[in-house]
Structure 1
């Protein structure tokens, strides 16, 4: 099992298809294919881990934990800052590998997404160095709060932004003093494999960061059920989140779940119309495969006709095509299986009586996994397309007359990850922002993220918050030390 497989060449970048366990590349007896969504070609065979590989990785992480935890924040920070430096030195390779692997736009990866990976690592390393628990005195007792590393963290990441979202979890977990086992997405594992290379280049001690590839039902299930895993952080589907939640509950293990959304984008008549329209069209980013996307557009009735016409005009200008080309706005869906899922939603919406304003199917010119940007209007109130996460380039548009109706429509879903509001009235923004159920509410902007702010979802969008102190409250055992004042010689 300790043999090393030949590396796979992806657009000129050599990537290991093997796991990374205890500082070594480890193969498996079985493998699985990884397909590029750009042309549905086989990128390579990747080691498929299961219980045995997870056991090895967790053991390696467990053995590395005491020394890593003992370094303290200031001792761990140089390793993590070096890791951020290494990531920054390889942004181009990361961008082309991720785009080839999951079909995301290359320009976006180059300019923003991969840089966020380095920023995530560096931010949490620096935050941990300044993290001071509260202290106070009450009734003659001195109280202080301490953040103790908890042990081995199991991190399961999604395919739509695998590298950036891996570092979002790895950064605080390692900065907190935990060691980690990452289970990358089987549809897009390659940039997580590169992350292991970068950890080795940065000099992280063996066993501090481990990567086990595999199918969720095998590697993922083994990781979340492992008795030596003390924290589980998962980003993905609601269905898988429920399974992970049950596994964590069986062992009373803290779990952080970010499970997607069906977010509203609320447009009032007094808004900056051009900005709201531009933001609405921007929801087709990454072919709609974005958990935060405002897929339910809610427009005040008095401007709805103009807004729909603006969406139609803007959609015609969106270039659907090869994500490696700079002129492309919308790339492919991730797999044939996912394409069929999106098609199913669209077909059922049509059957329920929803009207297609534009789009509605696979591109006749491109074929493959390229699905047209689609907008549904006149959708029946309780149609599935308004309730379930499609995770494709499919939006709905509903109208409202009053602020109260807008709030009711916004909250008419089982999800609560995010919401976006466009209005020129600050008091209205405050009222609606307070009334909408969501983990994050943006006003006259979209996707503004400061890493010190809490992030997570309400209702079926998940459990827990990460970011800033919230990440350390999750990944650490928060301890209170109470000392009787004046009791020491």
Structure 2
């Protein structure tokens, strides 16, 4: 049994003011494997006060000193990579090989990208040659509340903590109470790296508790949140009374446009991308739109790919997918699969219940629905499970219309060998990110969406700028 009841406040591990134990469940076994404590208002207030007190000194440090801290963080993070992989695998069910190769690597990748952006970052800038003496100062926004999810723990923690440190902000992190061990470990790493007291603080808690307390706290200047659109709306409302800056990375319902010239591999890649992390990714390509002349063939390819997707426990080595994170998530996914059946979608792979041979753990069957229409619930709502919806289209214009007919706008995908079409789609798909033919957007590219997928951008230069205010100065002396 892992016991991690303490919080990290003002440079020390401290006991909660009021004990409130919360069990941590292994989603592969449904067994309790650890316990944390949920914070109270007093814990939140103490963490915010520590961050507020540390801001003046930290915000005025030389950027090179902040870079040096993050360089030490990266070194220790890499040294503890196996510990991190095991923590993530245990708490949220990522298969151990995937946890090592993708979950942990996402964190180190974002730390590296942040350092690369910081080394050339200009905190004092000329307005332009037309205005001698006019300068733009990029200054830290202040004390930041960071609320992170369970599905990609280090991906999201690194995308918030690292650029905020580099920008000169102080912070309070509230990680997901469902998957807290990785953030406790990350906090140990930061402490070993020598983060000054009060600059970084961590309090465990749930959304209605610590999350809500941070969102409306008068001494918090900014809230950076990753999670559901529903929670993002609530945070925005809570933050409005104190006019905080709110940065939101929310849900998605990504469209993957597969044209007839893309071929079999594009379909198989689309299914694999959908099933990765058991479908628990906001940028998953969950709607596969297929050109009518290729549609029937694509459905059969998708069926084969889904049926070939292995499911197994997180501790087992291999390329399988793991369980969903919790009973609540399993129940939600099962309910939406049933909704797809009820509304007339054609089930071609998977379906209700657990995969054969797995009668314990939050395992779901890799599922493909065909003949989905874009008004069906499974095409409108973010399922956050291994469920793919396939929709036929007749023309490029219709594909774009269907893709954009969603309240979300995080990531869209397109598969075609026609370069002119690739350029048109890149411009016309309404999303914060577009991926063409499976090609990487590049390390340090901005991550974020439009519409109900949120606002703001994380990663690279944009990630640092997210935690800065712009100050315009006239008559700034030279030298």
Q: Would the TM-score normalized by the shorter structure come out above 0.5?
A: yes
Structure 1 pair 115–168 and aligned structure 2 pair: CA distance change class (3 A): same
In 2, are the aligned partners of 1:362 and 1:369 still within 8 Å (CA)?
Answer: no
The reply to whether residue 148 of structure 1 matches residue 112 of structure 2 is no
In 2, are the aligned partners of 1:51 and 1:219 still within 8 Å (CA)?
Answer: yes
Structure 1 pair 381–476 and aligned structure 2 pair: CA distance change class (3 A): closer
TM-score normalised according to structure 2 size = 0.95
Matches of 1:157 and 1:123 in 2, distance apart? 19
In 2, are the aligned partners of 1:352 and 1:380 still within 8 Å (CA)?
Answer: no
1:253 to 244, 255, 269: 244
Q: CA deviation at 1:137?
A: 4.3
In 1, are the aligned partners of 2:140 and 2:169 still within 8 Å (CA)?
Answer: yes
In 2, are the aligned partners of 1:17 and 1:193 still within 8 Å (CA)?
Answer: no
Matches of 1:229 and 1:136 in 2, distance apart? 30
The reply to whether residue 346 of structure 1 matches residue 337 of structure 2 is yes
In 2, are the aligned partners of 1:321 and 1:328 still within 8 Å (CA)?
Answer: no
Matches of 1:169 and 1:360 in 2, distance apart? 37
Matches of 2:374 and 2:109 in 1, distance apart? 42
Structure 2 segments unaligned to the other structure (5+ residues): none
In 2, are the aligned partners of 1:147 and 1:476 still within 8 Å (CA)?
Answer: yes
Q: Specify the SS of the correspondent of 1:262.
A: coil
Structure 1 pair 476–315 and aligned structure 2 pair: CA distance change class (3 A): same
In 2, are the aligned partners of 1:263 and 1:294 still within 8 Å (CA)?
Answer: yes
The reply to whether residue 389 of structure 1 matches residue 389 of structure 2 is no
Matches of 1:71 and 1:185 in 2, distance apart? 30
Corresponding residue number in structure 2 for 1:206: 197
Structure 1 pair 24–449 and aligned structure 2 pair: CA distance change class (3 A): farther
In 2, are the aligned partners of 1:77 and 1:126 still within 8 Å (CA)?
Answer: no
Matches of 2:406 and 2:331 in 1, distance apart? 23
The reply to whether residue 332 of structure 1 matches residue 320 of structure 2 is no
Q: How does 1:32-431 map to 2 (within 5 A)?
A: 32-132=22-122, 133-137=124-128, 141-363=132-354, 364-367=356-359, 368-431=361-424
In 2, are the aligned partners of 1:285 and 1:329 still within 8 Å (CA)?
Answer: no
Corresponding residue number in structure 2 for 1:453: 445
Structure 1 pair 31–488 and aligned structure 2 pair: CA distance change class (3 A): closer
Corresponding residue number in structure 2 for 1:475: 467
Q: CA deviation at 1:333?
A: 0.6
TM-score normalised according to structure 1 size = 0.93
Farther-moved stretch of structure 1 (464-473 vs 314-323): 464-473
Q: CA deviation at 1:164?
A: 2.0
Matches of 1:349 and 1:479 in 2, distance apart? 51
Matches of 2:303 and 2:198 in 1, distance apart? 53
Matches of 1:371 and 1:89 in 2, distance apart? 34
Structure 1 segments unaligned to the other structure (5+ residues): 1-7, 10-14
Structure 1 pair 43–476 and aligned structure 2 pair: CA distance change class (3 A): same
Matches of 2:239 and 2:40 in 1, distance apart? 18
- What value does the CA root-mean-square deviation take over the aligned residues? 1.8
In 1, are the aligned partners of 2:273 and 2:285 still within 8 Å (CA)?
Answer: no
1:237-265 per-residue CA deviation (whole Å, 9 max, x = no partner) reads: 01000011112222111111011100001
1:448-472 per-residue CA deviation (whole Å, 9 max, x = no partner) reads: 3434322211111111222333223
In 2, are the aligned partners of 1:155 and 1:180 still within 8 Å (CA)?
Answer: yes
Matches of 1:60 and 1:125 in 2, distance apart? 26
Q: CA deviation at 1:290?
A: 0.6
Q: Specify the SS of the correspondent of 1:466.
A: coil
1:432-488 per-residue CA deviation (whole Å, 9 max, x = no partner) reads: 221111100000016x3434322211111111222333223320111122228xx99
In 2, are the aligned partners of 1:298 and 1:398 still within 8 Å (CA)?
Answer: yes
Corresponding residue number in structure 2 for 1:442: 435
1:132-170 per-residue CA deviation (whole Å, 9 max, x = no partner) reads: 154144665432222111221110001001122101110
Corresponding residue number in structure 2 for 1:3: none
> What is the count of residue pairs matched by the alignment?
474
In 2, are the aligned partners of 1:258 and 1:461 still within 8 Å (CA)?
Answer: yes
